[in-house]
Structure 1
Amino acid sequence: MTEHLRAYNSLWQVRSDSWCRLEEAADRLTRPDTAGALKDTCLATCQELLSRLSTLEPYWAYPGAPQFARVQRLFAGGSYDKFCQSVARINRALTQESYRSGDVENAGADELDMFPSDPRQLEGQTEAERDRPYFEVLVVEKMTEAQERALRSEVRKWRRPDDEFVYELVVVDSGEEALIAARLNVNLQAVVIRRRFSAKSTRDLSALTEFVDTGVSHDLADHYSPEERAHILATSMGKLRPELDLYLMTEIEVEDIAGRLGQYFRRVFHAREGMLELHLSILHGVAARYRTPFFSALKQYSHRPTGVFHALPISQGKSIVNSHWIKDMVGFYGLEVFMAETSATCGGLDSLLEPTGPLREAQQLASKAYGSRHTYFVTNGTSTANKIVTQALVAPGDIVLLDRNCHQSHHYGMMMAGANVTYLEAYPLDEYSMYGAVPLREIKSKLLALKRAGKLDRVKMMSLTNCTFDGIVYDVERVMEECLAIKPDLVFLWDEAWFAFARFHPVYRTRTAMASAQALRERLQTPEYKARFEKYLAEQTADKPSDDDLLDRRLMADPARARVRVYASQSTHKTLTALRQGSMIHVYDQDFDQKVAEPFHEAYMAHTSTSPNYQILASLDLGRRQVALEGAELVQRQIENAMQLRDAIDNHPLLSKYMNCLGTAHLIPDRYRPTAIDQPLRSGLRNMMAAWHDDEFVLDPSRITLSIGRTGYDGDTFKREQLMDRYGIQINKTSRNSVLFMTNIGTTRSSVAFLVEVLVNIASELDQAISEMSLGEREHFEQAVYRLTKRPVPLCNFSGFHPAFRDHSGAEPTPEGDVRRAFYLSYDDTNCEYLTGEQVDEKLDAGIDVVSATYVTPYPPGFPVLVPGQVFSREILQFMRDLDTKEIHGYVPNFGYRVYTEKAIEMVGAAVGLPSNGHHPDTSPPKPAKKKPPKRVDDALGAADPG
């Protein structure tokens, strides 16, 4: 059975499918025509499924031990009709979640439960008409069955009609099983730890070994007092599920224990006095996370009668409902959207630029949910969030280390801030025409070079993308620790635009910016780390390693000097629930209040609209509520759906003939994976945890890069002609020979099934078309496949800034360039000209530097191949010629590349004291003026070869 369970990636799916299969087997068992061998098969199937479920059901409140025991008795006693009825009712309640009403005894009894509710009915429902949210509470204590029944009965008696929520209990008797329950049961919102619980379970947990934390079990088994064991369990529970409210119930020295352990628990109660108060505290704790201060204020405002004598005719829908021509706008969007429209920052709605009321509360709740010290809402996307952080931290002349393949907003942010940029190169994946992530060795080499040049004091910030579009995730904590060993006050900006969901999964969380910042800060303060650092420092002093040696050593930051200064920008709207352009900035910066608060406020003011969209802000508030209460469930389902999609493609005989899902071994070279685990999640949770703990890079399994080279389609054609035009399937990213599918918290099993069906249709049509091809057509097809699978396009590295835009003051040359100076030089049109690829080749043949005057960004891959001030290279030109894409920002068809004239470069070089390079100003008669390009690329007729 253990091997069968490993075919799944989350046991909630095992449980759900097991109940469904049990209902099918029970129904078949009770049919009149079931006899002989068929009946024996049905009996064996039911027995196997009941055995499997018996290992899982103790960790959920429904159906609960009494009902499940009754199902087992009915089966064992041969009452198959009643057994079938009971199983059908339980499965119906689980499938439609009718048990969440709180009436667990009668859940699933109504046959209408088999039909899901129409989501359109939610539109007109009032708060009172909606079902009360349901959750479960874990109680950790040894209890007899009679005591457990009595406790459940007592809790139900405390319910009141005006309670906001309803909950049921899950009872386990050991710390070992408490952690299993926290991993498996996503309905849990609170944990009550009592004094009397054992370290290890008396049950057979062999089928759940993947979920047993042997380290904690060993710690709990030592001879600690009950309160010390409660502390160990609470600490482990907090790391696993930080959103859970933890409560401690004890019988002795409650005042002393509250003083010593209160920081680990929401409340500490005396066991004989606090039961009702515990009940109320549990409801209050969930209510605190359920609160949406800004959304509630906006709802309240929308229902107030107001006289609008300011901007926004659309406020309260008045310009629409009184119109003869656009009333359909109300029909489509609903009236509430317009009732909530206002430009007022008073009346309880608060100001985004100077929040003091509900908006400030909403941001504080978000900060708690995401583990930051400060969180700020952004209403115009993570592009703006990146610019805000960059401008707040970077002054003109500061050196910034930047991932060259990052989003274009970082490049523009550097230009606006006046940074001197040192670009970092990611490892290439030529076979798939994409880049991975920036190796730590590359980062350290750049920092050490700047140190040798005497410029380390000017290095301010490093910005990296975690995780990349293709799902490559950094070891964030290690990167920051080793960089701080070289530059103790380095600031980090982690672009987590596509990684906001990661906070709500226990393994993913360890590689997020905020969790890593907190973990690093705490570790630097421990006596153990300080002792290890003293030993490390002595070894370094004795060995006197060279810079080359340091590149291959694990560096340790000085705990007395290192400052943990970390920022993360996240597109909430991309991976969690928020309206388009709803993003957040998370801050974990020890020096924020002293050094950054004022410039951050100014940068925020500079880039934030004074007329923000309040619906976006309210959706960020609601999205925070959602992940604070059900993030663990949603992310778990997201990953399971992704793995099901991978399995459906790779195990399908026809699909696997033409396409395959790229895994860790395809996208991360062996040298960055010391664990050598090719498919960490597929081989079990323990392997995933090992890889995410030890490997330099890991792959986010929720992203599926599908290699399609064997279909003969390039990625862009496959996306447009097959997926989007024919089937309406939307995807963001392609490469020459791959397409990227991303699951999210809204992905359903039905949508996964639809995608598989579409891919099978495409593969079937392709298979038939190939079988009917003529010899010439077959040769053409095979050449296309060969080009896409056997002829990789070599990816080009950053060639370098022209010396005219570099700083030459150091002890040795360093590669950073002044992007702002290079960018604004092009504002004088006389400094620029347009050259085709062939003309650039001619100049390079003549030994003349050709310098880009603008950003040139092909889509895909979507990062600048050229930036202002960068010199052209033959590798870049060849890369551009080999691209299959027609969308190239910064390249004008029929005119070519916008570059600086030789005269302009010579003028800039002279201004910074560069010696003449032999290219003298042009003194020949003026050439005929080149034809001016159109104002918009779209206006250019025809398409010239980018080369």
Structure 2
Amino acid sequence: MTDSNSRAYNSVWQFRADAWCRLEEAAERLSRAATQGRPTEALADSVRALVRGLQPYEHYWAFPGTQYFAQMQRQFTSGNYDKFSRTVAKINRALVTESYRSGESHITGTNDHEQSIDVHYDETTSDRTERPYFEVLVVETMTEQQERALRKEVRSWRRPDDEFVYELVVVGSGDEAVIATRLNVNIQACVVRRRFAHKSAKDLTSLGDFVDSRVSDELADHSPEERAQILAAQISNIRPELDLYLMTEIEVEDVAGRVGHDFRRVFHAREGVLELHLSILHGVAERYRTPFFDALKKYSHRPTGVFHALPISQGKSIVNSHWIKDMVGFYGLDVFMAETSATCGGLDSLLEPTGPLRDAQDLAAKAYGSRHTFFVTNGTSTANKIVGMALIAPGDIVLVDRNCHQSHHYGTMLAGAHVQYLEAYPLTKYSMYGAVPLREIKGKLLALKSAGKLDRVRMIMLTNCTFDGVVYDVERVMEECLAIKPDLVFLWDEAWFAFARFHPVYRTRTGMAAAKALRERIKDPAYRERYNSYLAEQAKKPDASDEDLLDQRLMPDPAQARVRVYSTQSTHKTLTSLRQGSMIHVYDQDFEQKVAEAFHEAYMAHMSTSPNYQIVASLDLGRRQVALEGVELVQKQIENAMQLRDAIDNHPLLSKYMHCLSTAELIPEDFRPSGIAQPLRSGLHNMEAAWRHDEFVLDPSRITLYIGPTGYDGDTFKREQLMDRYGVQINKTSRNTVLFMTNIGTTRSSVAYLVEVLVKIARELDDNITDMSQTERAIHDRRVLRQTEESRYMPDFSGFHPSFRDGDVSDEGDVRKAFYLAYNDSFCEYLTPDEVEAKLDAGESVVSATFVTPYPPGFPVLVPGQLFSKQILNFVRFLDTPEIHGFQPHLGYRCYTGKAIEMATPVTTPLAVTIGSNGDVEKPTTKRRPKPAGASAE
């Protein structure tokens, strides 16, 4: 997409905003030239190009709308450049200040040719106290007069005490309805009327990726009610939060019975629009409602006497203090007025919600597409442990991404699970890991099946998306795993992916959306037919090996498969919530029958009986925000990320020292069957194609910046350059990369500031290199070489010591046993890295007694019971981070003594461990431990 200045845009929203600003500037220059008698042809051509570029899009917004836009065009065509300039200025300022959202824009004049736009706006303040504004899409073929009459009728029903104000967007065809749904984030409801065309008579080619010919094809050759139902499904796929209404003229009762489940209400068209108007307001009010926040506000205004806990309640211990009154000045009084430990008086208990908190969680479940949602006030680390404790019993086998957050490792240890670690693909050039290939997951499941342990496999834990933005094909992973283990439970750690629900492309790869889609597909009778054909094909290959199955697309048995999915999300990380506000989303067919009681116990075990109600209220408010404007906010987040990518990679100086890693650089070709190397920059259709077909895709809002040519390691660049000098906060680094993440709070100004900072760093570096002596340049070049060469130290999971394994036919280990063995200090010793290496060189095994977790990357490279390898030692040795949990620089690694290993070793176990010549662990062999005296021969 380009404007008249040939600038490339990543989104129509940025194009539209900038085009109106440029049109205002161009119109002013044109008006001034005409007034001064100077030539206007070139200026008029520039204005004409801008108007032509905007015209195809303006049909899909209520403001300025087709009528005002046409009027503006007439002013330009007639040569009334002064009036045209003033009209454009009013429209643009209303768009920039968003004053049009007051609903007070109106037309003055006596006829169409004399009308002008009058929009109230205030350039001095951005504080908005007016009623929230939204737009309603109406799908019906209308004349201009009918459309004007409908708008007038709707406005006539407005009342001063209405909670909201809205305007209409009218389109005449199904394909345009889908375009409007994609383009206009202000739309909160859609009214489908009986008479609409399946395909627009307009030329829509200029709308590019937003046009989908499949929509009109699908709508053709159907009755009006059938077309309405198909269109409703199409719109729901794009914006599931929208309220859909149907207006028909015949057999309204019969129509409601047949298609009513696709619509919020079905109305008879001749009965007027008042009831529809009230229903639209009520539907938006349902999403606007914040039950717990409202209850907390009401409670905070009540006088209370506190005779149990929480002296800070209503600020009593502060306002009467002589020494900490500045606390009120900093935080404000309301936050303390809302502090309470009460669970009655209009409030609710987090552990046993029955009132406003239960309502708030139900609204969250609807917004996020889950069957149940639970609020968590101490982060997703706790959420992960709750799910683990609720579903895992001691001895169950759990498949875990080795690179997942440490809370999963601790959670499986606390639950007593036997852990089978999964290996992600390595990115050796950047010293980081990607995600776990489906082939690896299937291979581990099939190996456990061959070992006769599939009945013990309980759950798989995966991170979606990873810290670096790699996103799984969630639905396919679950589908193929269920073909091997039909009752497998999935825990998707979406700590950094809560926002994904609110974008039509992202949504398909979230745990909840994929669970619903998979459930609906499996129960479809057509799937049963496809499954029978699949079985017939499988029967032709009686000798197929597990290796053959790894390369096949597996299908679960619809008679056995149970869709059991949990997602944990850090609302506070990517959406609006106070720190540590998180949610657990559940889509589990067996939850009520098998899990509810255990989940309740786990929830009480990990949650406080005195939760922070401010966090709970912020979760309620954050849900309201995304239910009403999540699509808009997430779209802006992606836009800002793409602007940042383009600004860095297209800058001549920045591109000399750094660049944003592409999809092709972070996801190997084997996992991208679409073959699209840059789906983020090659149009919406390509992005959708990649997200439909590729095993892994890249989240556009994550920008991994490769800084190897600067000579800085990631941690130094983060601390000394970004944070200490310029106050730019980031989290994740690797040896030669830093990660920037845009979020719903990122602005274009903050993106511009980051680009400015990077340019300053690059300019300073460039100047320093120019001034270096020959010796200094050689030192710098060695640093650059160290940062740009591929890492030789990317360790795989070395394996558990046989003492902590269950036999020698599979690789899972008992982390809990190993963890608690270390509670006896006499079983542990500290070894320096050199001492560990010496033991490995001598062929001895060294076993970790604790978790060793470098930050970054933030995942354990050693867990209790794991064997050391030289590969792991070198990985830690060459990390650029000074923060390594579980490693004491003055002491070394905490390891088990030989006595401890002997004590832990069962009577019969695969005991011998072979250390290869390179110091890495080789596959252990089976050896029987001598029986103690007096042991039974059996």
TM-score, normalization: structure 2? 0.95
Instruction: Tell me, in whole angstroms, the C-alpha distance in 1 between the residues paired with 2:432 and 2:254.
Output: 59
- Deviation track 1:650-701 (CA, whole Å, cap 9, x = no partner) reads 0000110110000100100000000111111311101010000000000000
Kindly report which structure 2 residues correspond to 1:282-681, keeping only aligned pairs within 5 A, or say none: 282-544=280-542, 545-681=544-680
Instruction: Tell me, in whole angstroms, the C-alpha distance in 2 between the residues paired with 1:602 and 1:217.
Output: 51
The answer on 1:202 being equivalent to 2:201 is yes
Instruction: Tell me, in whole angstroms, the C-alpha distance in 2 between the residues paired with 1:552 and 1:596.
Output: 34
Q: Secondary structure at the match of 2:680?
A: coil
Instruction: Tell me, in whole angstroms, the C-alpha distance in 1 between the residues paired with 2:399 and 2:65.
Output: 55
Instruction: Tell me, in whole angstroms, the C-alpha distance in 2 between the residues paired with 1:688 and 1:552.
Output: 25
Task: Please report how far the alpha carbon of residue 33 of structure 1 lies from its aligned counterpart in structure 2 after TM superposition.
Answer: 8.7
Equivalent AA in structure 1 for residue 240 of structure 2: P
Q: 1:666 to 1:918 in 2, by over 3 A?
A: closer
Instruction: Tell me, in whole angstroms, the C-alpha distance in 2 between the residues paired with 1:495 and 1:799.
Output: 24
Contact 1:92-1:108 at 8 Å conserved across structures: no
**Higher deviation after alignment, 821-830 or 271-280:** 271-280
Q: Secondary structure at the match of 1:65?
A: helix
Equivalent AA in structure 2 for residue 681 of structure 1: L
Contact 1:93-1:113 at 8 Å conserved across structures: no
Contact 1:93-1:99 at 8 Å conserved across structures: yes
Q: Which residue of 1 aligns with 2:751?
A: 752
**Higher deviation after alignment, 30-39 or 382-391:** 30-39
Task: Please report how far the alpha carbon of residue 479 of structure 1 lies from its aligned counterpart in structure 2 after TM superposition.
Answer: 0.1
Instruction: Tell me, in whole angstroms, the C-alpha distance in 2 between the residues paired with 1:112 and 1:374.
Output: 43
Contact 1:796-1:875 at 8 Å conserved across structures: yes
Equivalent AA in structure 1 for residue 27 of structure 2: A
Out of 876, 883, 889, the position equivalent to 1:887 is 883
Equivalent AA in structure 2 for residue 668 of structure 1: I
Instruction: Tell me, in whole angstroms, the C-alpha distance in 1 between the residues paired with 2:690 and 2:332.
Output: 48
Equivalent AA in structure 1 for residue 91 of structure 2: I
Equivalent AA in structure 1 for residue 820 of structure 2: Y
Instruction: Tell me, in whole angstroms, the C-alpha distance in 1 between the residues paired with 2:7 and 2:240.
Output: 26
The answer on 1:843 being equivalent to 2:839 is yes
Kindly report which structure 2 residues correspond to 1:683-762, keeping only aligned pairs within 5 A, or say none: 683-762=682-761
Equivalent AA in structure 2 for residue 322 of structure 1: N
Q: 1:426 to 1:6 in 2, by over 3 A?
A: farther
Instruction: Tell me, in whole angstroms, the C-alpha distance in 1 between the residues paired with 2:344 and 2:497.
Output: 34
Task: Please report how far the alpha carbon of residue 918 of structure 1 lies from its aligned counterpart in structure 2 after TM superposition.
Answer: 12
Q: Which residue of 2 aligns with 1:98?
A: 99
Equivalent AA in structure 2 for residue 189 of structure 1: Q
Q: Which residue of 1 aligns with 2:13?
A: 12
Q: Which residue of 2 aligns with 1:869?
A: 865
Instruction: Tell me, in whole angstroms, the C-alpha distance in 2 between the residues paired with 1:911 and 1:303.
Output: 68
Task: Please report how far the alpha carbon of residue 914 of structure 1 lies from its aligned counterpart in structure 2 after TM superposition.
Answer: 5.7
Gaps of 5+ in 1: 123-129, 920-947
Gaps of 5+ in 2: 108-115, 916-938
Q: Which residue of 1 aligns with 2:935?
A: none
Contact 1:298-1:618 at 8 Å conserved across structures: yes
Kindly report which structure 2 residues correspond to 1:107-256, keeping only aligned pairs within 5 A, or say none: 113-117=122-126, 130-221=129-220, 223-256=221-254
Equivalent AA in structure 1 for residue 53 of structure 2: R
In the comparison of the two structures, how many residue pairs are matched? 905
Q: Which residue of 2 aligns with 1:925?
A: none
Task: Please report how far the alpha carbon of residue 833 of structure 1 lies from its aligned counterpart in structure 2 after TM superposition.
Answer: 0.2
Kindly report which structure 2 residues correspond to 1:755-770, keeping only aligned pairs within 5 A, or say none: 755-770=754-769
The answer on 1:57 being equivalent to 2:66 is no
Instruction: Tell me, in whole angstroms, the C-alpha distance in 2 between the residues paired with 1:456 and 1:6.
Output: 57
Contact 1:99-1:108 at 8 Å conserved across structures: no
- Deviation track 1:250-276 (CA, whole Å, cap 9, x = no partner) reads 000000000000100000000011411
Q: Which residue of 2 aligns with 1:47?
A: 48
Contact 1:854-1:866 at 8 Å conserved across structures: yes
Task: Please report how far the alpha carbon of residue 917 of structure 1 lies from its aligned counterpart in structure 2 after TM superposition.
Answer: 7.7
Equivalent AA in structure 1 for residue 183 of structure 2: L
Instruction: Tell me, in whole angstroms, the C-alpha distance in 2 between the residues paired with 1:791 and 1:613.
Output: 47
Task: Please report how far the alpha carbon of residue 206 of structure 1 lies from its aligned counterpart in structure 2 after TM superposition.
Answer: 0.8
Instruction: Tell me, in whole angstroms, the C-alpha distance in 2 between the residues paired with 1:918 and 1:241.
Output: 57
Q: Which residue of 1 aligns with 2:904?
A: 908
Task: Please report how far the alpha carbon of residue 45 of structure 1 lies from its aligned counterpart in structure 2 after TM superposition.
Answer: 1.3
Equivalent AA in structure 2 for residue 164 of structure 1: E
Q: 1:325 to 1:388 in 2, by over 3 A?
A: same
Q: Secondary structure at the match of 1:368?
A: helix
Contact 2:845-2:913 at 8 Å conserved across structures: no
Q: Secondary structure at the match of 1:218?
A: helix
Instruction: Tell me, in whole angstroms, the C-alpha distance in 2 between the residues paired with 1:802 and 1:224.
Output: 66
Q: Secondary structure at the match of 1:113?
A: coil
Instruction: Tell me, in whole angstroms, the C-alpha distance in 1 between the residues paired with 2:26 and 2:822.
Output: 74
Out of 885, 893, 900, the position equivalent to 1:897 is 893
Q: Secondary structure at the match of 1:167?
A: strand
Instruction: Tell me, in whole angstroms, the C-alpha distance in 2 between the residues paired with 1:848 and 1:794.
Output: 21
- Deviation track 1:204-256 (CA, whole Å, cap 9, x = no partner) reads 111113111221210112x2110000010001111110000000000000000
- Deviation track 1:784-817 (CA, whole Å, cap 9, x = no partner) reads 1111012424310100000000001xxx610000
Instruction: Tell me, in whole angstroms, the C-alpha distance in 1 between the residues paired with 2:82 and 2:914.
Output: 96
- Deviation track 1:73-104 (CA, whole Å, cap 9, x = no partner) reads 11001111111100011000000100000112
Q: Secondary structure at the match of 2:106?
A: coil
Contact 2:138-2:191 at 8 Å conserved across structures: yes
Q: Which residue of 2 aligns with 1:922?
A: none
Q: Which residue of 2 aligns with 1:932?
A: none
Q: 1:654 to 1:914 in 2, by over 3 A?
A: closer
Q: Which residue of 2 aligns with 1:87?
A: 88
Kindly report which structure 2 residues correspond to 1:801-812, keeping only aligned pairs within 5 A, or say none: 801-808=800-807
Instruction: Tell me, in whole angstroms, the C-alpha distance in 1 between the residues paired with 2:750 and 2:541.
Output: 59
Contact 2:861-2:872 at 8 Å conserved across structures: yes
Q: Secondary structure at the match of 1:139?
A: strand
Task: Please report how far the alpha carbon of residue 10 of structure 1 lies from its aligned counterpart in structure 2 after TM superposition.
Answer: 2.0
Q: Secondary structure at the match of 2:772?
A: coil
Equivalent AA in structure 2 for residue 831 of structure 1: F
Q: 1:916 to 1:863 in 2, by over 3 A?
A: closer
Task: Please report how far the alpha carbon of residue 39 of structure 1 lies from its aligned counterpart in structure 2 after TM superposition.
Answer: 3.1
Contact 1:7-1:682 at 8 Å conserved across structures: no
Contact 2:68-2:117 at 8 Å conserved across structures: no
Contact 1:804-1:912 at 8 Å conserved across structures: no
Q: 1:918 to 1:685 in 2, by over 3 A?
A: closer
Q: Secondary structure at the match of 2:462?
A: strand
Contact 1:91-1:108 at 8 Å conserved across structures: no
Task: Please report how far the alpha carbon of residue 725 of structure 1 lies from its aligned counterpart in structure 2 after TM superposition.
Answer: 0.5
Q: 1:261 to 1:916 in 2, by over 3 A?
A: closer
TM-score, normalization: structure 1? 0.94
Instruction: Tell me, in whole angstroms, the C-alpha distance in 1 between the residues paired with 2:234 and 2:26.
Output: 40
Instruction: Tell me, in whole angstroms, the C-alpha distance in 1 between the residues paired with 2:181 and 2:87.
Output: 27
